[in-house]
Amino acid sequence: MIKEIKAAELNTEQFIREKVEMIRSAVGDGTAINALSGGVDSSVVTMLGHRALGDNLKTYFIQNGLMRESEPESVQELFRKLDVPVKIIDARNEFLSALKGIRDPEEKREAITQTFYKHVFGRLVRESGAKHLLQGTILTDVDETVAGVKRQHNVFEQLGIDPQKEFGYRILEPLIQLRKDGVRKVGSAVGLPPILFDRIPFPGPALAARIIGEVTEERLNTVRKATSIVEKKLRETGAFQYMAILHEDRVTGMVDGKREFGQQIEIRCWDSVDARTATPTQLPFEMLTGLAGEIIGQVPGVVSVTYNIATKPPSTIEAV
Ligand code: XMP
Protein backbone atom coordinates (compact mmCIF):
# COMPACT_ATOMS: atom_id res chain seq x y z
CA MET A 1 0.00 0.00 0.00
CA ILE A 2 1.50 3.35 -1.03
CA LYS A 3 1.10 6.12 1.54
CA GLU A 4 -0.33 9.17 -0.19
CA ILE A 5 1.11 12.62 0.54
CA LYS A 6 -1.59 15.20 -0.15
CA ALA A 7 -0.48 18.47 -1.74
CA ALA A 8 -1.81 20.47 1.22
CA GLU A 9 0.30 18.44 3.69
CA LEU A 10 3.41 18.34 1.54
CA ASN A 11 6.59 19.83 2.97
CA THR A 12 8.50 20.28 -0.27
CA GLU A 13 11.96 20.85 1.24
CA GLN A 14 11.70 17.75 3.41
CA PHE A 15 10.30 15.73 0.51
CA ILE A 16 13.17 16.78 -1.76
CA ARG A 17 15.77 15.94 0.92
CA GLU A 18 14.30 12.50 1.51
CA LYS A 19 13.98 11.59 -2.14
CA VAL A 20 17.46 12.83 -3.04
CA GLU A 21 18.77 10.66 -0.20
CA MET A 22 16.69 7.68 -1.35
CA ILE A 23 18.06 7.97 -4.90
CA ARG A 24 21.65 8.36 -3.67
CA SER A 25 21.53 5.37 -1.39
CA ALA A 26 19.87 3.16 -4.03
CA VAL A 27 22.27 4.05 -6.83
CA GLY A 28 25.44 4.36 -4.72
CA ASP A 29 28.36 5.30 -6.92
CA GLY A 30 26.84 3.59 -9.95
CA THR A 31 24.95 5.35 -12.72
CA ALA A 32 21.25 5.72 -13.34
CA ILE A 33 19.33 6.75 -16.40
CA ASN A 34 16.02 8.48 -16.89
CA ALA A 35 13.78 9.48 -19.72
CA LEU A 36 12.66 13.05 -19.88
CA SER A 37 9.53 13.72 -21.91
CA GLY A 38 9.20 17.34 -20.89
CA GLY A 39 6.04 16.49 -18.96
CA VAL A 40 5.68 17.69 -15.38
CA ASP A 41 6.44 14.34 -13.73
CA SER A 42 9.53 13.41 -15.71
CA SER A 43 10.87 16.98 -15.43
CA VAL A 44 10.63 16.87 -11.64
CA VAL A 45 12.27 13.44 -11.51
CA THR A 46 15.09 14.71 -13.71
CA MET A 47 15.76 17.56 -11.28
CA LEU A 48 15.67 15.26 -8.23
CA GLY A 49 17.93 12.74 -9.93
CA HIS A 50 20.33 15.41 -11.05
CA ARG A 51 20.52 16.80 -7.53
CA ALA A 52 21.17 13.35 -6.14
CA LEU A 53 23.59 11.99 -8.72
CA GLY A 54 24.99 14.85 -10.79
CA ASP A 55 26.87 13.45 -13.79
CA ASN A 56 26.01 9.92 -12.72
CA LEU A 57 22.51 10.49 -14.02
CA LYS A 58 22.17 10.17 -17.79
CA THR A 59 19.03 11.85 -19.04
CA TYR A 60 17.59 10.87 -22.39
CA PHE A 61 14.77 12.27 -24.43
CA ILE A 62 13.30 9.41 -26.44
CA GLN A 63 12.10 10.79 -29.74
CA ASN A 64 9.43 8.19 -30.35
CA GLY A 65 7.73 10.12 -33.14
CA LEU A 66 4.64 10.51 -30.93
CA MET A 67 5.65 13.86 -29.46
CA ARG A 68 4.24 17.31 -29.98
CA GLU A 69 5.73 19.82 -32.43
CA SER A 70 9.45 20.61 -31.79
CA GLU A 71 9.17 19.00 -28.36
CA PRO A 72 12.58 17.24 -28.23
CA GLU A 73 14.61 20.33 -29.08
CA SER A 74 12.67 22.73 -26.89
CA VAL A 75 12.87 20.40 -23.86
CA GLN A 76 16.60 19.87 -24.42
CA GLU A 77 17.10 23.64 -24.59
CA LEU A 78 15.05 24.31 -21.42
CA PHE A 79 17.16 21.81 -19.48
CA ARG A 80 20.41 23.09 -20.95
CA LYS A 81 19.57 26.35 -19.19
CA LEU A 82 19.26 24.38 -15.93
CA ASP A 83 22.66 22.75 -16.57
CA VAL A 84 21.13 19.35 -17.15
CA PRO A 85 22.45 17.73 -20.32
CA VAL A 86 19.80 15.79 -22.25
CA LYS A 87 20.59 13.39 -25.06
CA ILE A 88 17.96 12.90 -27.76
CA ILE A 89 17.59 9.29 -28.93
CA ASP A 90 15.92 8.86 -32.29
CA ALA A 91 13.66 5.82 -31.97
CA ARG A 92 10.92 6.92 -34.36
CA ASN A 93 11.08 3.91 -36.64
CA GLU A 94 11.08 1.46 -33.76
CA PHE A 95 7.89 2.89 -32.28
CA LEU A 96 6.08 3.30 -35.57
CA SER A 97 6.78 -0.26 -36.61
CA ALA A 98 5.71 -1.58 -33.19
CA LEU A 99 2.40 0.31 -33.55
CA LYS A 100 1.73 -0.76 -37.13
CA GLY A 101 -1.67 -2.33 -37.61
CA ILE A 102 -2.71 -2.00 -33.93
CA ARG A 103 -6.11 -0.46 -33.22
CA ASP A 104 -6.97 -1.68 -29.74
CA PRO A 105 -6.16 0.92 -27.01
CA GLU A 106 -4.58 -1.50 -24.55
CA GLU A 107 -2.56 -3.25 -27.26
CA LYS A 108 -1.29 0.17 -28.32
CA ARG A 109 -0.18 0.96 -24.78
CA GLU A 110 1.47 -2.44 -24.49
CA ALA A 111 3.37 -1.98 -27.78
CA ILE A 112 4.64 1.39 -26.55
CA THR A 113 5.57 -0.04 -23.14
CA GLN A 114 7.52 -2.93 -24.63
CA THR A 115 9.32 -0.75 -27.16
CA PHE A 116 10.18 1.80 -24.51
CA TYR A 117 11.24 -0.37 -21.60
CA LYS A 118 12.47 -3.52 -23.25
CA HIS A 119 14.00 -2.39 -26.50
CA VAL A 120 15.04 1.26 -26.25
CA PHE A 121 15.80 1.36 -22.51
CA GLY A 122 17.20 -2.14 -22.49
CA ARG A 123 19.72 -0.95 -25.07
CA LEU A 124 20.53 2.29 -23.22
CA VAL A 125 21.00 0.39 -19.97
CA ARG A 126 23.38 -2.09 -21.60
CA GLU A 127 25.34 0.71 -23.25
CA SER A 128 25.56 2.90 -20.15
CA GLY A 129 26.06 0.14 -17.58
CA ALA A 130 23.26 1.69 -15.46
CA LYS A 131 21.36 -0.55 -13.07
CA HIS A 132 18.61 1.90 -12.22
CA LEU A 133 15.98 3.77 -14.13
CA LEU A 134 14.40 6.82 -12.49
CA GLN A 135 10.81 7.31 -13.43
CA GLY A 136 8.02 9.77 -12.64
CA THR A 137 5.16 7.40 -11.82
CA ILE A 138 2.56 9.17 -9.66
CA LEU A 139 -0.21 7.80 -7.49
CA THR A 140 -2.96 8.46 -10.05
CA ASP A 141 -1.11 6.25 -12.57
CA VAL A 142 -1.05 3.43 -10.04
CA ASP A 143 -4.69 3.85 -8.98
CA GLU A 144 -6.03 3.77 -12.51
CA THR A 145 -3.91 0.82 -13.53
CA VAL A 146 -4.82 -1.21 -10.45
CA ALA A 147 -8.49 -0.32 -10.82
CA GLY A 148 -8.25 -1.57 -14.40
CA VAL A 149 -9.36 1.79 -15.82
CA LYS A 150 -6.30 2.15 -18.00
CA ARG A 151 -2.96 0.46 -18.10
CA GLN A 152 -0.58 3.39 -17.56
CA HIS A 153 2.52 2.56 -19.52
CA ASN A 154 4.84 3.14 -16.55
CA VAL A 155 3.27 0.92 -13.88
CA PHE A 156 4.80 -2.53 -13.28
CA GLU A 157 5.28 -3.61 -9.69
CA GLN A 158 1.61 -3.18 -8.79
CA LEU A 159 0.76 -5.49 -11.67
CA GLY A 160 3.15 -8.14 -10.38
CA ILE A 161 5.77 -7.37 -13.04
CA ASP A 162 9.37 -7.35 -11.81
CA PRO A 163 11.30 -4.88 -13.99
CA GLN A 164 14.60 -6.44 -12.93
CA LYS A 165 13.51 -9.81 -14.33
CA GLU A 166 11.55 -8.45 -17.26
CA PHE A 167 13.88 -5.70 -18.46
CA GLY A 168 17.16 -6.13 -16.54
CA TYR A 169 17.12 -2.99 -14.39
CA ARG A 170 15.51 -1.58 -11.25
CA ILE A 171 13.02 1.27 -11.34
CA LEU A 172 13.07 4.08 -8.76
CA GLU A 173 9.87 6.09 -8.40
CA PRO A 174 10.40 9.09 -6.11
CA LEU A 175 7.02 10.70 -6.92
CA ILE A 176 4.82 7.69 -6.32
CA GLN A 177 3.17 9.14 -3.17
CA LEU A 178 2.08 12.32 -4.94
CA ARG A 179 -0.63 13.45 -7.26
CA LYS A 180 -0.27 16.11 -9.94
CA ASP A 181 -0.85 19.08 -7.61
CA GLY A 182 1.86 17.80 -5.26
CA VAL A 183 4.28 17.20 -8.12
CA ARG A 184 3.83 20.81 -9.24
CA LYS A 185 4.70 22.08 -5.77
CA VAL A 186 7.88 20.00 -5.75
CA GLY A 187 8.67 21.20 -9.29
CA SER A 188 8.55 24.79 -8.18
CA ALA A 189 10.66 24.07 -5.08
CA VAL A 190 13.27 22.14 -7.02
CA GLY A 191 13.91 25.07 -9.36
CA LEU A 192 11.97 24.26 -12.50
CA PRO A 193 10.72 27.28 -14.42
CA PRO A 194 6.90 27.69 -14.39
CA ILE A 195 6.83 26.84 -18.09
CA LEU A 196 7.76 23.28 -17.02
CA PHE A 197 6.00 22.72 -13.71
CA ASP A 198 2.87 24.56 -14.79
CA ARG A 199 2.53 22.63 -18.03
CA ILE A 200 -0.66 20.80 -18.69
CA PRO A 201 -0.31 17.03 -18.20
CA PHE A 202 0.68 15.01 -21.23
CA PRO A 203 0.35 11.22 -21.26
CA GLY A 204 3.29 8.83 -21.52
CA PRO A 205 1.94 7.25 -24.73
CA ALA A 206 1.89 10.81 -26.05
CA LEU A 207 -0.10 11.52 -29.22
CA ALA A 208 -0.80 7.79 -29.59
CA ALA A 209 -3.28 8.29 -26.72
CA ARG A 210 -5.09 10.82 -28.91
CA ILE A 211 -5.50 8.76 -32.05
CA ILE A 212 -8.47 6.45 -32.24
CA GLY A 213 -7.53 3.53 -34.45
CA GLU A 214 -4.17 2.90 -36.07
CA VAL A 215 -1.22 5.19 -35.33
CA THR A 216 0.52 6.07 -38.59
CA GLU A 217 2.91 8.85 -39.47
CA GLU A 218 0.24 10.62 -41.47
CA ARG A 219 -2.35 10.42 -38.70
CA LEU A 220 0.26 11.59 -36.18
CA ASN A 221 0.93 14.65 -38.34
CA THR A 222 -2.78 15.43 -38.38
CA VAL A 223 -3.25 15.21 -34.61
CA ARG A 224 0.07 17.00 -34.00
CA LYS A 225 -1.04 20.02 -36.04
CA ALA A 226 -4.44 20.11 -34.34
CA THR A 227 -2.75 19.79 -30.91
CA SER A 228 -0.56 22.82 -31.58
CA ILE A 229 -3.58 24.91 -32.48
CA VAL A 230 -5.61 23.76 -29.47
CA GLU A 231 -2.73 24.27 -27.02
CA LYS A 232 -1.96 27.74 -28.33
CA LYS A 233 -5.56 28.90 -28.29
CA LEU A 234 -6.60 27.37 -24.97
CA ARG A 235 -3.48 28.25 -22.92
CA GLU A 236 -5.08 31.48 -21.71
CA THR A 237 -8.03 29.56 -20.21
CA GLY A 238 -5.80 28.16 -17.45
CA ALA A 239 -7.75 24.88 -17.70
CA PHE A 240 -6.25 21.70 -16.22
CA GLN A 241 -5.72 19.99 -19.57
CA TYR A 242 -6.79 20.40 -23.19
CA MET A 243 -6.23 18.32 -26.25
CA ALA A 244 -7.17 17.35 -29.79
CA ILE A 245 -8.24 13.82 -30.66
CA LEU A 246 -8.31 12.29 -34.10
CA HIS A 247 -11.31 10.10 -34.77
CA GLU A 248 -11.42 7.07 -36.95
CA ASP A 249 -14.91 7.55 -38.35
CA ARG A 250 -15.09 9.80 -41.34
CA VAL A 251 -17.90 12.16 -42.25
CA THR A 252 -18.96 13.82 -45.45
CA GLY A 253 -17.75 17.36 -45.87
CA MET A 254 -17.07 19.87 -48.63
CA VAL A 255 -13.58 20.89 -49.62
CA ASP A 256 -13.09 23.38 -52.49
CA GLY A 257 -16.69 22.88 -53.52
CA LYS A 258 -16.24 19.10 -53.75
CA ARG A 259 -17.60 16.38 -51.55
CA GLU A 260 -14.94 14.89 -49.29
CA PHE A 261 -15.27 12.02 -46.85
CA GLY A 262 -13.15 13.83 -44.30
CA GLN A 263 -11.64 13.43 -40.87
CA GLN A 264 -12.97 14.52 -37.50
CA ILE A 265 -11.14 16.21 -34.66
CA GLU A 266 -12.61 16.22 -31.17
CA ILE A 267 -11.51 18.91 -28.72
CA ARG A 268 -11.48 18.26 -24.99
CA CYS A 269 -10.78 20.86 -22.32
CA TRP A 270 -10.94 19.82 -18.67
CA ASP A 271 -11.30 21.46 -15.29
CA SER A 272 -9.75 19.23 -12.63
CA VAL A 273 -7.51 19.33 -9.58
CA ASP A 274 -5.86 15.93 -9.63
CA ALA A 275 -7.17 14.19 -12.78
CA ARG A 276 -9.25 11.74 -10.77
CA THR A 277 -12.45 13.52 -11.67
CA ALA A 278 -12.89 16.24 -14.27
CA THR A 279 -15.56 18.43 -15.81
CA PRO A 280 -15.57 20.07 -19.23
CA THR A 281 -14.52 23.72 -19.18
CA GLN A 282 -17.33 26.09 -20.16
CA LEU A 283 -15.48 27.69 -23.03
CA PRO A 284 -17.04 30.71 -24.73
CA PHE A 285 -18.75 29.68 -27.94
CA GLU A 286 -16.69 32.16 -30.00
CA MET A 287 -13.54 30.51 -28.73
CA LEU A 288 -14.84 27.14 -29.89
CA THR A 289 -15.87 28.36 -33.33
CA GLY A 290 -12.52 30.16 -33.66
CA LEU A 291 -10.76 26.90 -32.88
CA ALA A 292 -12.85 24.97 -35.37
CA GLY A 293 -12.05 27.53 -38.06
CA GLU A 294 -8.32 27.31 -37.46
CA ILE A 295 -8.26 23.53 -37.35
CA ILE A 296 -10.30 23.15 -40.52
CA GLY A 297 -8.27 25.87 -42.25
CA GLN A 298 -4.85 24.54 -41.24
CA VAL A 299 -5.12 20.78 -40.88
CA PRO A 300 -5.56 19.10 -44.25
CA GLY A 301 -8.36 16.55 -44.51
CA VAL A 302 -10.33 17.70 -41.44
CA VAL A 303 -13.96 18.63 -42.12
CA SER A 304 -15.54 18.28 -38.69
CA VAL A 305 -14.66 19.59 -35.22
CA THR A 306 -16.54 18.67 -32.04
CA TYR A 307 -16.27 19.64 -28.36
CA ASN A 308 -16.66 16.96 -25.70
CA ILE A 309 -19.07 17.87 -22.90
CA ALA A 310 -18.98 14.68 -20.83
CA THR A 311 -17.56 14.49 -17.31
CA LYS A 312 -14.96 12.09 -15.88
CA PRO A 313 -16.30 9.63 -14.80
CA PRO A 314 -17.63 7.96 -16.88
CA SER A 315 -15.38 9.54 -19.51
CA THR A 316 -11.64 9.48 -18.97
CA ILE A 317 -9.46 12.49 -19.72
CA GLU A 318 -7.72 10.91 -22.69
CA ALA A 319 -9.72 9.21 -25.42
CA VAL A 320 -7.64 6.07 -25.82
P1 XMP B 1 -7.26 9.42 -17.89
O2 XMP B 1 -7.33 9.43 -19.40
O3 XMP B 1 -7.00 8.04 -17.36
O4 XMP B 1 -6.01 10.30 -17.54
O5 XMP B 1 -8.45 10.07 -17.25
C6 XMP B 1 -5.69 10.77 -16.26
C7 XMP B 1 -4.45 11.63 -16.38
O8 XMP B 1 -3.32 10.80 -16.68
C9 XMP B 1 -2.79 11.13 -17.97
N10 XMP B 1 -2.61 9.84 -18.67
C11 XMP B 1 -1.48 9.18 -18.75
N12 XMP B 1 -0.29 9.50 -18.27
N13 XMP B 1 0.55 7.47 -19.14
C14 XMP B 1 0.73 8.65 -18.48
O15 XMP B 1 1.86 8.96 -18.11
C16 XMP B 1 -0.64 7.07 -19.63
O17 XMP B 1 -0.77 6.01 -20.20
C18 XMP B 1 -1.70 7.99 -19.42
N19 XMP B 1 -2.98 7.96 -19.76
C20 XMP B 1 -3.50 9.10 -19.27
C21 XMP B 1 -3.81 11.97 -18.67
O22 XMP B 1 -3.21 12.85 -19.59
C23 XMP B 1 -4.52 12.64 -17.51
O24 XMP B 1 -3.86 13.82 -17.10
- Name the residue with the closest Cα to ligand 1, atom 10: 203
For ligand 1, whether the C-beta of 108 sits within 6 Å is no
> What is the maximum alpha-carbon separation in the chain?
67
Q: Is 179 in the pocket of ligand 1 (CB under 6 A)?
A: no
Which residue CA neighbors atom 18 of ligand 1 most closely?
203
pLDDT band for 71, please (50, 70, 90 cuts): very high
User: pTM for the complete prediction?
Assistant: 0.88
Those residues with Cβ within 8 angstroms of residue 12's Cβ, 6 or more apart along the chain or in another chain:
185, 186, 188, 189, 190
With a 6 Å cutoff on the Cβ, whether 153 touches ligand 1 is: yes
CA angle 201, 7, 39 (to 5 degrees): 20
Query: Domains along the chain?
Result: 7-197 (3.40.50.620), 211-307 (3.30.300.10)
User: Which of 36, 107, 114, 141 to mutate to test ligand 1, by most ligand atoms within 8 A of the CB atom?
Assistant: 141
Strands 32-35 and 57-63: parallel
Q: What is the mean pLDDT of residues 64-78?
A: 95
**pLDDT tens string 40-70:** 999 999 999 999 999 999 999 999 999 999 9
